Amino acid sequence: MKIVDIPVKFPIPFAVDAGSLKRQVPTDSQIGITDGAASLQTGYPPDNFIQQSAGGIGPFGQDVNGLAFQTTGWARWFSAGGPVRWDSAFANDPDVGGYPAGAVVADPTVLGRFYVSLVDDNLDDPTDFGANWKAFSYFFNPVGQCYFQYVSTTQVKLVPKNGNTVTVNGVPRQIPAVGITANVGSCYVNGVAARALAISTGYNVYLTDVSGTLVLDFWSGTGSGHIPDTAANNIGVEVRNDSGTPDSTRTLVGKVGTNASAQLFTGQGASVISWFNQRPISLASASPASRGGITQQTPQLLNDVATVTFLNWGDTSVGVGVGGQFHGDQTGSSAYLVACVDSLSTPAQSGFYSSTNDLASYVPCFVEANIAEGFHGAFPCGFVDVGVTGTYSGCRANVRVNG
């Protein structure tokens, strides 16, 4: 067959204006009900093939028009590229018995979403995203039109951003206008419902489908990391790393970290960051740190009240800074102010020094640092040259993250 063999299309169905001169041909036999009437079971009945002079009954023109109207109507629909939507009543008709393996149906409400039946006699509703259907879309799937945000010390929310679509398991799903909220005291944790987050723990947060409803699932420990998906309909989407195997059912949307009360630190960046639509977030010590009498040549914590908690992604650098007033007591020797991250043995390469016994000005020093992905704390520290005593006042750490 060649492209030139395409037949003429039906611009309208046959007998479209026939009115009462056409009727829908019924499924069941009409023998004994309306003699001579056609049906899908019998076609034209035997009486139509007997001469009327011998007692036969001529075929009804309404049946001819009705049958041609229905068949040419479908031919017209297909010629126009019309999709066939999933139809529960049709699938459950005893004469149909469900969709066959390989059948492709359109979503009854979502434009551009389709499903392939994976089994014969398929009676399942594909919009429930069950195992017997595989969803796909002809549209470019927006991966993450959303933002994962801090709400309070006990709540987070995934909200629409630059659209409302997120790809989950290769299917574009819509985030409701009110967002998807989770309470850290009762939420999905490692796939289990109604659990509380643990104290002082970092979690990756994934969007997943539970019986047709999108929920936020918090993961920590083994199997909580993330990895680009390799599934054919979900390539490149960041999903849960299940021991080296991408879990397509869980799309990464954010990260949280809890405090010693199993709640969140206040504010975006301090305890919550978003994977999608990241933005720069500046954080600073809530309270300044002061300390005198420092004589050590390695970083010393000034005061833990000046610690800045923060979360970060591994593929972005973190800005770390420090500022405050300080001095050493020996002219010609130096005192130093630096910011350390997580441990006194890991100072970020930022800071100032003072070579006189006058207070140094409060002029922040800021550098970009490569810090492992996770939940961290930055704090101001001081150290001095040999033989010097350092005094520090009003010192704060500063951090800039993306989230």
CB 127 within 8 A of CB 86: yes
CATH 2.60.120.40 for domain 280-402, yes or no, is yes
- In this model, does residue 21 exceed pLDDT 90? no
Q: pLDDT by residue (tens digit) across 281-299?
A: 999 888 888 999 999 999 9
Nearest-angstrom CA–CA distance, 306 and 286: 6
Structure tokens at 396: 């704060």
Q: pLDDT by residue (tens digit) across 365-375?
A: 666 778 899 99
Structure tokens at 322: 């420090």
CATH of 146-274, one of 3.30.310, 1.10.10, 2.60.40, 2.80.20: 2.80.20
- In this model, does residue 360 exceed pLDDT 60? no
What lies within 8 Å, CB to CB, of 81 at 6+ separation is none
CB 395 within 8 A of CB 302: yes
User: How many CB atoms lie under 10 A from the CB of residue 352?
Assistant: 19
Where, residue-wise, is CATH 2.80.20 in the chain?
Answer: 146-274
Going by C-alpha positions, the residue among 60, 16, 52 that lies closest to residue 36 is 60
Q: pLDDT by residue (tens digit) across 26-55?
A: 989 999 899 888 888 888 899 888 888 888
User: Which amino acid type is present at position 336?
Assistant: Y
Distances (CA, A) of 16 to 7, 85, 210: 20, 23, 46
Structure tokens at 300: 């010393």
CB 135 within 8 A of CB 171: yes
Where, residue-wise, is CATH 2.60.120.40 in the chain?
Answer: 280-402
Give residue 363's pLDDT.
Answer: 47
Nearest-angstrom CA–CA distance, 233 and 213: 21
